[in-house]
Structure 1
Amino acid sequence: MDINGLRSLVTLAAFIAFVGILIWAYLPSHKARFDAAAQLPFEPEQERRE
């Protein structure tokens, strides 16, 4: 296998990983968790007592 074949395999692996991340991010089961995380900057800070 030459360098171009290796580059093609790496590109294909990166594309598959990208599609996998997209599918994971848009699964309906994750929506509630992502919505809660999106609201974190707007919640008041809680005081820590250490």
Structure 2
Amino acid sequence: MDLNDFRSAVTLLSLLLFLALMAWTFWPTRRQALDEAARLPFEEDGTP
């Protein structure tokens, strides 16, 4: 196993991790939590 095989493996693992994070983030059951987080900047907290 040379250095290029190691680089290819790291690249593939990084891609799989990225795809898994995107799937987890935009999974339909998380819709309500994402909507609540999106509204946070617009909610009034009463402090100037």
Q: TM-score, normalised by structure 1?
A: 0.86
| CA root-mean-square deviation | 1.1
Q: What does 1:1-50 align with in structure 2 at a 5 Å threshold?
A: 1-46=1-46
Aligned mates of 1:31, 1:14 — CA distance in 2: 25
Q: Taking structure 2 as the reference length, what is the TM-score of the superposition?
A: 0.90
Structure 1: gaps (5+ residues)? none
Q: Which has the higher helix share?
A: 2
Structure 1 residue ranges (4+ consecutive) displaced by more than 6 angstroms after TM superposition: none
Structure 2, unmatched stretches of 5+, are none
* Partners of 1:27 and 1:46 in 2: CA distance: 33
Percent identity over the alignment is 38
